[in-house]
Chains A and B, each alone.
Chain A
Amino acid sequence: MSNENNNTISFYETGKGIFSWIFTLDHKRIALLYLYSVATFFLVGATLGILMRLELLSPGSDLMHAKTYNQIFTLHGVIMIFLFIIPSIPAVFGNFFLPIMIGTDDVAFPKLNLLSWWLYIIGAMFALSTLLFGDGPADTGWTFYAPYSVKTGTNVSMAVLAAFILGFSSILTGLNFIVTIHRLRLPGMGWFQMPLFPWALYATSWIQVLATPIIGITLLMIIAERVIGIGLFDPALGGDPILYQHLFWIYSHPAVYIMALPAMGIVSELIPTFSHRTIFGYKAIAYSSMAIAFIGYFVWGHHMFTSGMSGDARVIFSVLTFLVAVPSAIKVFNWVATLYKGSIELKTPMLYALAFIFQFLIGGLTGLVNGALATDIHLHDTYFVVGHFHYVMFGGTGFAFIGALHYWFPKIYGKMYNEKIAKTGFTFLFTGFNILYFTMLILGIKGMPRRYYDYLPEFQPLHVIATVGSWILFTGLIIIIVNLIRSKRKGPAAPRNPWGGVTLEWQVPSPPPLQNFDKKPILSKKGPYDFK
């Protein structure tokens, strides 16, 4: 690098002022830009979720009209999917730690990295602008199903354009990571000396690169259809709405793995560190990431079992869906086997990792219930589906995200967080989460359909329980956030390696200097998880 200034000051001190942040090429600063952006949107999305739960406290329209409710759940979905979960782990922790974990000083294309963040912000502005003009935000659900999405008067075009731009941002991040992993590994670090989080990011990046363009073009078609009124997906004009669903899910099912795989990578880091034991089945975990990415392309049809597909196609999609559960289960078995005879330390990040395994298991198994043809007929479009994907997305990815935030907090900020308050926050979050979403699973089995502001009186007791759960969950979130902000200001200084971790990020100062490594990183001959 050209500016050979001394490499002992942290990356916070290398430049001052807002422009040194929003135009930075440092992967760590870009990661923090992403962290603050996704955290903000997460809180907006969570608030919308709380509002929905409040409306559902009793039957009838109490807080909002049907249309407002439709707009809120759509905005909740769009924000949580496109602005939070998809960029969350890769863009924040991937950006920050991928280069450090593979022993380099930045990603392969630093400028492209900054461009991704800017595209993200522009996309976010577009998405939020739908609040301000015309008939308000889209009311179609985040899936933008045709033909309703081409007919409704709400601002679908703008929302869809936002998703298109955000997709571009996601593609560039993926592209950057693939090239980084191929080209910038520390000399001596082969593919199988790479830690498992980079492996998970590698698999994720391929999905980002190869699946996202499909949604891009599909969304452009929606816009074209709305502008020109051509009947591409409108059956009244000769179009085929089922084709839209296919195109949408060709991207959006693999996208589920964009959300889940990095979280699995995080858990594969947390479990060995806090068990102080090498990971069990390293290669099996690495390969299963790639297997999930690959098989994940061919299961999209399971979202459409009830919307019109040939019997043969349904059977094939169902079998493939069961197949993709195998590599996921391989990971779970490996994590549990790692715990066996480990010296387990129940620090906060480890609690999140264990909660991940528990909740991901529920999320995964309920996924199989949906993936089975007969049960899906009963459960399709009910709260069971809502409960299922919140177990995977929030109980899985969300928990892994917060776990990672605690795990790497000392490295990012150079301060220790308050362990006691963090555990309290976890307890609230975990309790609230399970009360809220397990109740949804039961509601779904009883027949409560999703996406309605109103319901039959017989469902009320369960809805009340779920809403109370949402309050506990939100309390947990507030405790966690306040604790982290306070610890960043007042926490005791963190050493290089507070947890006894063995991956390369623990060999650098906390917080790291601009070029990450102040001395030559030492690679263990026995692979990335050598706890001697």
Chain B
Amino acid sequence: MHIGRFGPPRKIRALAVGCAIAVGAAGAVASRAVAQQQQNFDNVQEDIVHVRDGVYMLVGAGGNTTVMAGDDGVLVVDTQFAPLSTKILNAIRSISDKPIRYIVNTHMHADHIGGNEAISKAGRTRAGGNVVGDLGAAATATAAIIAHENVLLRLSMAAPGQPQVPAAAWPTETFATRKQEMRFNGEAVQIIHEPHAHTDGDSLVFFRRSDVVSTGDLFTTVMYPYIDEANGGTINGYIDALNAILDITIASNVNEGGTMVIPGHGRLSDEQDVIEYRDMTTIVRDRIKEYVKRGMTLEQVKAARPTLDFDPRYGTPNGFWTPAQFVEVIYKEMKEAQGPARPQPKNQKSSRKGQTKGGGQ
């Protein structure tokens, strides 16, 4: 029940998500073992939200999972944390008893790939011809794991001092092009790479007939965009990705619904929710870009409070990815894009901003 005072529950939820992403981000350079140590998953329940047709959203801990089920089998987008694998499998089995054929990873953070190994082993992919001849039964023993090539590169090369993610959790099918396409359960599925956004290996998964897009952490409803610089993320790439989502989405004739959007974290959404988030992200980026252009220091920019109007909604001041961190990463990127310092004109007037895609680059 969410009547009345929304403040505390929202903060608790944001904190929980923040922790999940924190663990996920840590897992990007650490491991699922770290995640397990930091979170107790015993009380986590998988909330199954029917989105449309055979597409469902599972909300547990960590990133949201998308399940697409039909006669051909089950396709799973993102697998949350490893200790939740059994709960995720139970949720999938309540939707379909068909084999799990594919897992798609939207990126490489541990809160999105943690269940890869167990869920893959619970499935069977399709293979034939000389593939089966070479590999035997192993060719179909697990569900295939699909991701952009950079996900495999990041997972297979653990950062110094961090445990290795088991090879069984790595992607088995990667792509290095703009998109990967497949037809499954009678519908076209597009896996679209968005470069240098949340990380450098992000993908959107668009179910064309069902008209549902699963975004991974390229869109959330619970916090500011997390730009994982260490793994290739950038604010301009993130805004490009949000605009790419809006290129896909089309609202219904009453300007809501239509294409449904499953976020990386948070509630089920549609185009308008992405517009609000895109607007917020672009406005904050543009403000900081303008401040950098005026020669302001990071401390001055922070003092100007460029996120004040959005902090009560997206800020997690004491948790992971604070407004200050969000400002810092944008400032750094805008500063680098600006190049060497230039003299600033005096008496600058009010300015209406408005940047193009990647305008800060």
Question: Is the pairing of A and B real?
Answer: no
